[in-house]
């Protein structure tokens, strides 16, 4: 309850909090006066005849303090006329208490200076001289009354005059401080607005950056991250709690610790899910262990864009070459057909058939090259993976005449949507499944198609066969163009599949098995 009250006070404006402090000070002061009467012996008082008067005024001051707190709580925003009235009554009560305690010799008159200074600061110095004038008038009236009712000489006015001058001096000082406070508050408010605008601009810039940005403190807690970092690392959206870098991105946490301890270069490439991320660390302070700003780039996309630009230029050249080859190839094919119709000799037919087969082979190579040229023109759409794989499976089994017993489709137990060019994905899967079936033992379950969810941001599509696999010395050349282990192949199937996958932001990898092979399409979701 008390901590809640403190929190509410902190949320109030500065002037309102100062008024509350004055109210508390007034209440404590009145309770102190009542306590002096109750706990101190009467012989310690200067004016023994005025002890009942002192107690009565103290009780009245206590009641007034409580009322002031209630009024301040009820009408906190309407204190423009209430505050000066309360200060005047404070001065009046303190003057009466000073009179009942024996006059200016009691020392209670110093409380007037405290009251004037605090009230002047609360009112920003506007009524400082007014409060000093009221206090001086009350002091002179008190001293004049004592002079008229008691046997006093004129020299007793000196302390009263000095105290009045002190009130004016402190009031003028409070006025100067109040004016300076107003200027400082206006300057601070202006600077605060500028800083807030600058923070909003910085936040907007970081949110629109293509690179992910993480701000990490010395405890490796994430203080800020932008939208791209949220996407790359699957961080929670609009999190109000402090996130641990070790918990949400342990790979980046390890790389950051290594960078702090070894003072190594600030470029690292790590794998998270199916993404290759390049990290760049910048220290917030001169010492690396005091926090850092981490810039994150999707390295796979950088490589894909670079390669896509190169292939776009090379593709235009190869397309022109393929077109120029096709024209004379069509003429050769037509001439070969005419010769097959005219000459019926067996030896000649066999030679002409060889020519026709090689023409077909060259034509297939041209088709594959032209298909490769289209990799930079993807039309990516949202694909519901489970439905797509079922349709592909049914179509592939029907066209290639494969029974479902020999080619197994593992059921996808969850709905997953990916972004991919549907024609490209069909061609990739067709190439891989056809290649796997040709190398398999063609038995029950020789070929299978399934999916695996990798973390929160990745999914793998795998094609598994039970063939003899790929020899170790050939695995490095597996995705090279025109490399093949089949006598009738042109060596472009796997190469085109990999290029089409990378054009859609995916990765095609080969994985050896004790019996057979696995081709994996790594996708980011």
Question: Where is pLDDT greater, at 6 or 478?
Answer: 478
pLDDT at 120 over 90: no
**pLDDT score, position 520:** 92
Query: Torsion-angle region of residue 12: left (phi > 0), alpha (psi -120 to 50) or beta?
Result: beta
131-187 residue pLDDT tens: 888 888 888 888 888 777 776 665 567 888 888 888 888 888 877 777 777 778 778
CA 254 to chain centre: 20
Phi-psi region of 25 (alpha: psi -120 to 50; beta: other; left: phi over 0): alpha
CB 514 within 8 A of CB 464: no
- Element holding 14 (H helix, E strand): helix 14-39
pLDDT confidence of residue 357: 74
Classify domain 210-298 by CATH number: 3.30.450.20
List strand residue ranges (DSSP E) for 335-390, in order.
380-384
First to last CA, the chain: 48
Q: Tell me the mean pLDDT in the region 50-59.
A: 80
Q: What is the pTM of this model?
A: 0.42
380-524 in CATH: which number?
A: 3.30.565.10
Q: Quickly state the pLDDT bin for 189 (edges 50, 70, 90).
A: confident
Please tell me which residue, 207 or 389, carries the higher pLDDT value. Answer: 389
pLDDT band at 10 (very low <50, low <70, confident <90, very high): very low
- Mean local confidence (pLDDT), 199-208: 69
Q: Give the pLDDT confidence of 441-453 residue by residue, as tens digits.
A: 889 989 999 998 8
Single out the residue of 275, 249, 305, 230 nearest to residue 522, CA to CA.
275
What number of other Cβ atoms are within 10 A of residue 502's Cβ?
19
Weakest mean pLDDT among 78-92, 156-170, 288-302, 307-321: 307-321
How many whole angstroms separate alpha carbon 255 and alpha carbon 266?
9
pLDDT tens column, 344-354: 677 777 777 77
Entry field: residues in the chain:
525
Which tokens in the block code for residue 220? 């490796």
203-207, 282-286, 296-300 — most confident range: 282-286
pLDDT 10s digits, 207-220? 667 778 888 888 88
- 128-149 helix and 157-208 helix, angle to the nearest 10 degrees: 160
Strands of 311-424 (E only): list them: 380-384, 407-409, 417-421
Domain range summary for the chain, segments of one domain joined by +: 2-188, 210-298, 303-376, 380-524
Q: What is the mean pLDDT of the chain?
A: 78
Considering the segment(s) 303-376 as one domain, its CATH architecture is Orthogonal Bundle (1.10)
Q: Which two tokens stand for residue 348?
A: 């000649």
What pLDDT band is residue 300 in, cutting at 50, 70 and 90?
low
Checking if the pLDDT of 49 tops 70, the result is no
- Cβ-proximal residues to 489 (8 Å cutoff; 6+ apart), any chain: none
Least confident segment among 77-91, 128-142, 223-237, 295-309 = 295-309
Pair 448, 497: CB distance under 8 Å = no
How many percent of the chain have pLDDT more than 70? Answer: 78
Contact between 186 and 205 under an 8 Å Cβ cutoff? The reply is no
Strand intervals (E) in 204-257: 212-216, 221-225, 243-244
Distance in angstroms (rounded) separating the CA atoms of residues 234 and 524: 11
3-class secondary-structure state, position 378: coil
Mean pLDDT of 454-468: 86
Q: Which residue, 380, 365, 373, 366, is CA-closest to 310?
A: 373
Q: Cα separation of 440 and 397, whole Å?
A: 15
The string of pLDDT tens digits covering residues 228-271 is 777 777 788 766 677 888 888 888 888 888 888 876 666 677 77
Percent of the chain with pLDDT over 90: 6
């Amino acid at each position: 309850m008390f901590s809640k009250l403190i929190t509410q006070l902190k949320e109030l404006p500065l002037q309102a909090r100062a008024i509350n402090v004055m109210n508390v000070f007034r209440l404590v002061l009145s309770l102190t006066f009542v306590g002096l009467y109750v706990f101190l012996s009467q012989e310690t008082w200067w004016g023994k005849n005025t002890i009942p008067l002192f107690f009565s005024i103290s009780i009245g001051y206590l009641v007034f303090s409580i009322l002031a707190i209630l009024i301040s709580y009820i009408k906190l925003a309407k204190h423009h006329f209430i505050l000066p009235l309360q200060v005047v009554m404070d001065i009046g009560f303190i003057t009466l208490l000073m009179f009942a305690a024996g006059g200016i010799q009691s020392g209670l008159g110093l409380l007037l200076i405290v009251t004037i200074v605090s009230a002047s600061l609360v009112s920003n110095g506007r009524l400082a001289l007014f409060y000093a004038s009221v206090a001086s008038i009350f002091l002179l009236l008190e001293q004049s009354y004592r002079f008229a009712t008691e046997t006093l000489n004129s020299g007793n006015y000196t302390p009263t005059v000095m105290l009045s001058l002190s009130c004016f001096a402190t009031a003028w000082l409070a006025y100067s401080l109040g004016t300076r406070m107003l200027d400082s508050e206006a300057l601070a408010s202006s600077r605060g607005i500028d800083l807030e605008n600058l923070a909003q601009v910085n936040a907007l810039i970081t949110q629109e950056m293509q690179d992910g940005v993480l701000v990490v403190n010395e405890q490796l807690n994430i203080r800020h991250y932008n939208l791209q970092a949220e996407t790359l690392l699957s961080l929670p959206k609009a999190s109000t709690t402090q996130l641990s870098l070790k918990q949400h991105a342990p790979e980046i946490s390890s790389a950051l610790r290594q960078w702090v301890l070894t003072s190594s270069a600030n470029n690292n490439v790590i794998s998270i899910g199916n993404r290759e991320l390049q990290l760049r660390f910048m220290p917030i302070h001169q010492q690396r262990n005091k926090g850092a700003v981490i810039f994150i780039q999707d390295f796979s996309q950088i490589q894909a864009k670079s390669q896509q630009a190169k292939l776009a230029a090379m593709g235009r050249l190869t397309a022109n070459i393929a077109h120029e080859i096709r024209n004379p190839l069509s003429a050769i094919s037509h001439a070969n057909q005419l010769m097959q119709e005219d000459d019926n000799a067996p030896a000649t037919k066999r030679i002409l058939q060889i020519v026709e087969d090689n023409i077909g082979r060259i034509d297939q190579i041209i088709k594959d090259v032209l298909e490769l040229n289209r990799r930079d023109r993807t039309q990516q759409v949202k694909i519901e993976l489970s439905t797509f794989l079922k349709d592909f499976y049914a179509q592939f089994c029907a066209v290639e005449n494969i029974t479902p017993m020999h080619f197994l489709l593992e059921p996808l137990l969850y709905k997953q949507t990916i972004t991919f060019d549907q024609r490209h994905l069909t061609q990739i899967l067709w190439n891989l499944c056809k290649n796997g079936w040709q190398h398999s033992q063609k038995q029950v379950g020789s070929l299978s198609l399934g999916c695996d969810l990798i973390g929160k941001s990745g999914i793998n599509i795998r094609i598994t066969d039970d063939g003899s696999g790929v020899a170790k010395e050939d695995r490095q050349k597996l995705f090279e163009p025109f490399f093949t282990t089949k006598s009738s192949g042109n060596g472009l199937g796997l190469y085109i599949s990999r290029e089409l996958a990378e054009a859609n932001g995916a990765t095609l990898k080969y994985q050896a098995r004790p019996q057979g092979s696995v081709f994996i399409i790594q996708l980011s979701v």
